[in-house]
Structure 1
Amino acid sequence: MQRLLSGVGVLGVGLATVGAAINSTLYNVDGGERAVLFDRFRGVLPTVSGEGTHFLIPWVQLPIIYSVRSTPRSIPVTTGSKDLQNVNITLRILFRPHEQKLPWLYANIGQDYDEKILPSITTEVLKAVVAQFDASELITQREVVSEKVQELLMERGNSFGLILDDISITHLTFGREFTEAVEMKQVAQQEAERARFLVEKAEQVKQANIIRSEGDSIAAKMLAEAFVKAGDGLIELRRLEAAEEIATALSQSRNVAYLPGSGQNLLLSIPPN
């Protein structure tokens, strides 16, 4: 019985050893990943392993796993414009490695290729593009700037085995001096607009006064001509109209009483209490 149990134990140990040996010859590549094999005798192998389970030589070959999904990264850069203004730009990049160039990437740059490549080429391209535009043009021609940056950056990324799926400018500001100068310019423009409005208003008032004076002059001339033609009759008419207005105003006053007389109206003024 003891011999049987001993034999079973030895068999179990043997199976475990065989299972461990088999597992050491396999490696898995998950979805969205690719693998590069490093051989201790031959170096980095040129083949790239896709998704699934693959074989390797234990203790001789080592799998290096890379993600080939698009990965976002924001890179801030400070550079100068054509008119020597400081410009702060943040570029957002969606990148992934070219699958066929993964062996070259691992052999020459390493697994942290994005840390070594992207900041360098982004700074280089942004400095070259921004230096072609004035500070005001960077704002008014932002689409043109973005297209130039995208074209040059994709070309530079491709030379390092990177595929840039999307490039966009997410942040664009200028130095404190330029910002203050722009604000002062806006204030000056607003003051100029206000001054222009006041000048136009004064001109309109002047024109209105001229027209009013001309109207009064014409009215006075017509009134004088009417006096000459009508004689004392027009003067008497104006006197009666004035007397009627005075009588109406007095009759509506609380301190004046109306007394009937012999054919004439009498207005009695009563002093206030």
Structure 2
Amino acid sequence: MPRKPHKMAGDNPPGHPPLPGSRHMESAGCFRMARRYIRSIAIMAKLFETIGKLGLGLAVVGGVVNSALYNVDAGHRAVIFDRFRGVQTVVTGEGTHFLIPWVQKPIIFDCRSRPRNVPVITGSKDLQNVNITLRILFRPVTTQLPRIFTSIGEDYDERVLPSITTEVLKSVVARFDAGELITQRELVSRQVSEDLTERAATFGLVLDDVSLAEQQKQATIISAEGDSKAALLIAESLAKAGDGLVELRKLEAAEDIAFQLSRSRNITYLPSGQTTLLQLPQ
């Protein structure tokens, strides 16, 4: 004979109304599942909150550490400015260094040799204008960087080099004639280099090389020689011709003025009986 299945508590035969205990068991199971779900959500929320706090803490620590570090590249030096003690006398070298955030500030200087061209227009011994461009290779003395920053500033090259170059060039070029600037070129260049190097040393600068722009210098000197010869020829002509050359120039100027007036559409009234055009004789 087949065995009848064992009835469990709460089982209800089909076709019969549910027993009172079965609904209670189903409600209890749903309540347990909901409680587990809520508990898992609370655990996940607490985990995310912990991760957020940890990330915020790491970000704050990273920001503080990053603000307390600074890098000095190759060929550079740093001077520290302290808000309470001023510019520090210690010069820091290449690499990564520490400082006090929001209290100290690093000022980075380029200590490599850098070129600079300084154009100068000056007069020679014979009063001829000479246009010379001086090319300079300069760098600061590393031990004097605090003094340079305190007394001159970060843009020391813009403030110092044009001034001292103009001063030295005018002093040296004024000792030579326009022709001597060509024939004694090496002497002029050496004298400029020595005087400028000595002058730059007082500001804490080292000049590795000083050279004149040869082509521009020779061209301006040749032009100055031409102006000198032209002035000499005019003086000789005046000495020979007397006032005749002056009157000739007046006539040429008057002719040019009359030509310009004839081309103008406006009506120009000239007073009669007067020497209007450069006081020419009637």
Q: TM-score, normalised by structure 2?
A: 0.63
Which residue does the alignment assign to 1:52?
95
Query: Based on CA coordinates, which of the two structures has the bigger radius of gyration?
Result: 1
Question: What letter matches 2:208 in structure 1?
Answer: D
1:154 is paired with a residue whose SS is: helix
The residue number in structure 2 matching 1:61 is: 104
Identity of aligned residues (%): 62
- For residue 178 of structure 1, the aligned residue among 202, 225, 233 is 225
Equivalent position of 1:34 in the other structure: 77
Alignment match, 1:146: 189
CA offset at residue 12 of structure 1? Answer: 1.1
Alignment partner, residue 64 of structure 2: 21
Q: How does 1:83-162 map to 2 (within 5 A)?
A: 83-162=126-205
Deviations 1:211-234 (A, max 9, x none): xxxxxxxxxxxxxxxxxxxxxxxx
Aligned pairs for 1:151-230 (under 5 A) are 151-170=194-213, 171-172=216-217, 173-174=220-221, 176=223, 178-181=225-228
Q: Post-superposition shift, 1:15?
A: 1.0
Cα distance in structure 1, aligned partners of 2:222 and 2:159? 28
Q: CA deviation at 1:179?
A: 2.5
Report the 3-state secondary structure (helix = DSSP H, G, I; strand = E; otherwise coil) of the residue aligned with 1:83.
Answer: coil
RMSD: 1.7
Tell me the distance in 2 between the aligned counterparts of 1:177 and 1:149: 21
Q: CA–CA distance in 1 between the matches of 2:193 and 2:134?
A: 10
Structure 1 unpaired stretches of 5+? 186-273
Runs of 5+ unmatched residues, structure 2: 1-42, 233-282
Structure 1 counterpart of 2:114, one-letter code: T
Aligned length: 185
What is the TM-score with the length of structure 1 in the denominator? 0.65
- Cα distance in 1 for partners of 2:231, 2:145 equals 53
Measured in 2, the distance between the counterparts of 1:177 and 1:167 equals 24
Secondary structure at the aligned position of 2:179 is classed as helix
CA offsets 1:38-88 (integer angstroms, 9 cap, x no match): 111111111111110001000000010110111100001011111111111
For residues 9-47 of structure 1, give each alpha carbon's deviation from its aligned partner in whole angstroms, at most 9, with x where no partner exists: 101110110111011100000111111111111111111
Q: Determine the structure 2 residue equivalent to 1:228.
A: none
The CA deviation at 1:177 is 5.5
1:183 Cα offset (Å): 8.3
